[in-house]
Amino acid sequence: MMKALIIIDYTNDFVSDNGPLTCGEPGQKLENKIVQWIEEERENGSEIIFAVDYHKPDHTTHPEHDLFPSHNIEGTPGRKLYGKVNDVFTGIRSETNVTWMDKTRYSAFAGTPLDIFLREKGIGEIVLTGVCTDICVLHTAVDAYNKGYHLTIPRQAVASFDAGGHEWALSHFKNTLGANIVGR
């Protein structure tokens, strides 16, 4: 079965210490694991997709506007991928199996061509990494499950600013969505 690795929202605004919606240290600890997953899946010939939250400065009618501080605004340093993940992306972004996909909702499937893209590539398994486990990773996982994809979630490659929400989401992935939770 063909596989895709999706790196969700691993940006400065969600990970760096001064990000307005930062996961802080839990998110920062993912850096090397996400890089490891990228390298392994590249070697395996998998699709690598960077699904990145996208907002305009005037998105005052966006549903998140009243829920969260402004984040991932186009053209800002906060929207840049965090640390070593950005370095890796910079080095591989022109490869044919690497895709950047803007998203404007929690799920990487909502309002994007992700499902069509994956089906055209014959992909049946998705590995989800990034942040936040209980928000964007969760909504992407639920949509993937409802669309019939097999899910793998690496425990050490997802994080949230809410430890309880993170643990709940991991349990939900396994027990409700039938995801393979891996511990590496």
Query: Domain total for the chain?
Result: 1
Domain, as residue range, for 104: 2-182
| Token representation of residue 34 | 């996400």
d(CA 133, CA 174): 13
Output Rg (C-alpha) for the chain, integer angstroms: 15
Residue 184 has pLDDT above 60, yes or no: no
Question: Coil, strand or helix: which one is 146?
Answer: helix
CATH of the domain at 95: 3.40.50.850
pLDDT of residue 21: 87
CB 132 within 8 A of CB 159: yes
- Residues recorded for the chain: 184
Higher pLDDT among residues 21 and 43, named by residue = 43
pLDDT of residue 128: 98
96-153 tens-digit pLDDT:
999 999 999 999 999 999 999 999 999 999 999 999 999 999 999 999 999 999 999 9
pLDDT of residue 1: 76
27-64 tens-digit pLDDT:
999 999 999 999 999 999 999 999 999 988 877 666 77
